[in-house]
Amino acid sequence: MPNGGCDPIGGLVEPGRVHRRVYADPDVFELEMERIFGRAWLFVGHTSQVPNPGDYFTTELGRQPVVLTRHRDGAVYVLFNRCTHRGAKVVNERCGHATRMTCLYHGWSYDTDGALVGVPMPEGCAADFRKEAFGLARVPRTGEYRGFVFASLAPRGPSFEDHIGPIKSNIDDLVDRAPDGMLAFDLGMHRYIFNGNWKLQVENVLDSYHVPFGHASTVNKDGVQFARREGDKSGAKVVEADQAKTAQSWKGRRSYIVGNGHGWTSNTALDDGKRSSAAFDDYKRVLVEKVGAARAQHILTPRLHNTLIYPNVSIMGLNIHVRVIKPLAVDRTEINVYPVRLVGAPNAMNFGNLRLLNVTHSAASFVQTDDIEAFVRTQKGLRCLAPEWVDISRGLGAEEPDRELNATRGSAMHEMVVRAQYKAWVGYMRERA
Amino acid sequence: MMEAAVPEPKRTATPVDRAVLEAFLFEEARLLDMRRFRDWMALFSDDGTYWVPATVDQKSPYDQVSLFFDDRDLMKTRIDRLEHPRIHIQTPPSRTAHLIGNVTVDETDDAKGHYVVSSTVIMVEYRDDQQRLFAGRQVHRLRRNGDGFLIAQKRVDLINCDSAFEAMAVPI
């Protein structure tokens, strides 16, 4: 292990800085797969991806192929996607519908709860062979909140409630925007991939400091970004005439942390009074009809920009979507971006959101591509042996409690959220399984 | 909302039409390879769209994500950005070479001046020491405009449309 000694992991993270090996050392990555992705509560998918009995959806938890299924009794299962016979991956499609999941190799077939139901030429089975012992393995623990399905590959550890509790209201913030109080993940997904460590994306979702510089190409000559929400005529003013003024205008933006590595950043300043279009006005009318004017007003008042549910999922409140971070190797990461359909909202509103997500977070988008270039360039830079440390000290010591939100807050221009992520990282990494 | 589905081919055109339409496709590709993006945008009608689906046989851009689905407003934002000096994903810029082939004229309506042309596109992109390849089938819905044409819709179905892509900055 890096550094050796009695505390090899603790030596990689110090107050205000992390060692470059955290991003660049394949041994650290292997340990992350075991100690973080091997036991943390990970986002798997959404129940709307398997709406009907027999529906399935395949994904990976860390490097583990899993399949999310809907059984006849309505229950949702997360199963290891591996034939219990000789080991082939059973379900090869990304999603679909089947009454049985049949292995291509020798034809063993499984029910949608994982039970082994068919073995060709059963007379050849060993005398003590019991089908009941050969069902697809279930992941040790699962949990669900408002359709968001999480799983832990460890049989023991903090409960789902302990993990998700402090960040539940951020999920509510998104789900409540649907007039029917439900989301559907049925608008496809964007996939992008880059030569960089997974934590570069994790850190980026709550990094507001990079926006005025990193996304300079998305603003016009007046420093105003393109319109990113249905109903907006233009986007936020991101860059002012000079740096001092830019700093001033970003001062009000805040970040929040609530433990477990979770956190969020406050909303983008937009003129909500002027937000109007045929699609948005129609959506607003439907929402008011369903939940009443006061509640609708609350729901439509932006509070959150990005939320991170550590370690593998983020929720964006501006270009509404859910983003899943999939580490592939120490320097290779895939991201899945799910637009969310607000169930009960007019189609035109859902299309308005989709249209803009195409240009903010697809592989060919205006916003995400500059971030990807930053990730790739960072991974290249971190090959350098000197300096050994990555600085994350902005605002160190300036955190303050927010009693109303039961959180700790700091300036969004600071790096409190990154430090909180590394606190959680060390917690996972230090502890032996 | 406009109809986005691509009709089944009806092969009724004469070879002469094909050569003219083919020349238009070559010129469009040349503008992209020369990074004359604003001139490229001018080939589109005011209601024109540029669509690169993200799923195989995608029926509509309105209920599924797309790699690109630009109307003129979004196309303009994209091109403003491509011309911005601090577009990091184009520092250094992409160099591309398009090859357009297997051109077929699927529909002609001389009275209305409407044409549907299919072709195979291969684009090689080189940037920052890396070269990659895009390939697929494209369909142009064209409208006669004086001596030339305007693009009402360009749809590019990449053979790997549903894969995970490294960042893309320039249109196919």
- Over the stretch B21-73, which tens digit does the pLDDT of each residue have? 999 999 999 999 999 999 999 999 999 999 999 999 999 999 999 999 999 99
- Of A185, A427, A205, A396, whose CA–CA distance to A318 is shortest? A205
Please tell me if residue A191 touches chain B, with a CB cutoff of 8 Å.
yes
Domains detected in chain B: 15-81+94-158 (3.10.450.50)
Mean pLDDT for B76-83 is 96
Closest chain B residue to A354 measured between Cα atoms?
A: B65
> Does residue A387 belong to any structural domain of this protein?
yes
Q: Do residues A128 and A85 share a domain?
A: yes
Distance separating the N- and C-terminal Cα atoms of chain A = 16
- What is the pLDDT of chain B when averaged over all its residues? 92
Query: Of A40-49, A131-140, A167-176, A220-229, which gets the smallest average pLDDT?
Result: A220-229
**Any idea what DSSP says for residue B111?**
T
The CATH number of residue A68's host domain is 2.102.10.10
From chain B, pick out residues whose CB is under 8 angstroms from the CB of A217.
Answer: 81, 84, 86-88
Angle between helices A26-35 and A416-430 (to 10 degrees): 80
Q: Which of A117, A145, A173 is the last residue of a domain?
A: A145
The CATH number of residue A375's host domain is 3.90.380.10
For residue B8, the model assigns a pLDDT of 57
Alpha helices per DSSP H over B42-161: 72-82
Q: Do residues A70 and A182 share a domain?
A: no
Q: Do residues A138 and A227 share a domain?
A: no
Alpha helices per DSSP H over A188-271: 198-205, 211-214, 243-250
Exposure letters B113-125 (e unless 16+ CB within 10 A, then b): eebbbbbebebeb
Q: Which of A201, A355, A367 to mutate to test the interface with B (most CBs of B within 10 A)?
A: A355
The minimum CA-CA distance between A265 and chain B, rounded to whole Å, is 24
The minimum CA-CA distance between A157 and chain B, rounded to whole Å, is 33
| B83-B84-B88 Cα angle (round to 5) | 110
Q: Do residues A412 and A309 share a domain?
A: yes
CA B87 to chain centre: 22
> Does residue A12 belong to any structural domain of this protein?
no
Helix (H) or strand (E) holding A35: helix A26-35
Mean pLDDT for A34-48 is 97
**What pLDDT digit, counting tens, does each position of A178-225 carry?**
999 999 999 999 999 999 999 999 999 999 999 998 999 999 989 999
For residue A225, the model assigns a pLDDT of 93
Interchain pair B163, A354: CB under 8 A: no
Q: Do residues A69 and A191 share a domain?
A: no
Interchain pair B67, A363: CB under 8 A: yes
Q: What is the 3-state secondary structure (H, E, C) of A67-95?
A: EEEECCCCCEEEEECCCCCCCCCCCCCCE
Confidence label for A4 from pLDDT (cuts 50, 70 and 90): very low
Residues contacting residue A97 through CB under 8 Å, at least 6 positions apart: A52, A54, A55, A56
Structure tokens at A332: 């290779």
Q: Do residues A115 and A185 share a domain?
A: no
**What pLDDT digit, counting tens, does each position of A324-376 carry?**
999 999 999 999 999 999 999 999 999 999 999 999 999 999 999 999 999 99
> Does residue A3 belong to any structural domain of this protein?
no
Of B63, B65, B70, the CB nearest to A190: B65
> Does residue A80 belong to any structural domain of this protein?
yes
Interchain pair B164, A214: CB under 8 A: no
> Does residue A156 belong to any structural domain of this protein?
no
Interchain pair B65, A187: CB under 8 A: yes
Alpha helices per DSSP H over A106-228: 160-164, 168-175, 198-205, 211-214
Interchain pair B63, A351: CB under 8 A: yes
Interstrand relation of A341-342 and A254-257 (parallel, antiparallel or unpaired): unpaired
Q: Do residues A72 and A213 share a domain?
A: no
- How many domains is chain A built from? 2
For residue A2, the model assigns a pLDDT of 46
For residue B64, the model assigns a pLDDT of 97
Query: Of A54-68, A222-236, A281-295, A353-367, which gets the smallest average pLDDT?
Result: A222-236
Q: What is the ipTM of this complex?
A: 0.94
Q: Do residues A255 and A331 share a domain?
A: yes
Interchain pair B65, A188: CB under 8 A: yes
Interchain pair B69, A374: CB under 8 A: no
Q: Are A55 and A101 in contact (CB under 8 A)?
A: no
The minimum CA-CA distance between A23 and chain B, rounded to whole Å, is 19
Interchain pair B168, A364: CB under 8 A: yes
> Does residue A401 belong to any structural domain of this protein?
yes
Interchain pair B67, A364: CB under 8 A: yes
For residue A252, the model assigns a pLDDT of 84
Please tell me if residue A308 touches chain B, with a CB cutoff of 8 Å.
no
> Does residue A22 belong to any structural domain of this protein?
no
Interchain pair A216, B63: CB under 8 A: no
> Does residue A353 belong to any structural domain of this protein?
yes
Please tell me if residue A212 touches chain B, with a CB cutoff of 8 Å.
no
Mean pLDDT for A419-433 is 91
Q: Do residues A135 and A170 share a domain?
A: no
Confidence label for A268 from pLDDT (cuts 50, 70 and 90): confident
Interchain pair A358, B69: CB under 8 A: yes
Confidence label for B10 from pLDDT (cuts 50, 70 and 90): low
Q: Do residues A111 and A178 share a domain?
A: no
Whether the pLDDT of residue A87 is over 50: the answer is yes
For residue B13, the model assigns a pLDDT of 42
Sign of CA dihedral B55, B56, B58, B61: positive
Q: In terms of residue numbers, what domain contains A303?
A: 165-430
Interchain pair B167, A220: CB under 8 A: no
**What pLDDT digit, counting tens, does each position of B102-160 carry?**
999 999 998 899 999 999 999 999 999 999 999 999 999 999 998 899 999 999 999 99
Interface of A with B in 313-342 (CB under 8 A): 334-335, 337, 339
Q: Do residues A130 and A266 share a domain?
A: no
The minimum CA-CA distance between B126 and chain A, rounded to whole Å, is 15
Query: For chains A and B, what is the number of CB pairs under 8 angstroms?
Result: 102
**What pLDDT digit, counting tens, does each position of A235-257 carry?**
998 888 888 888 888 888 999 99
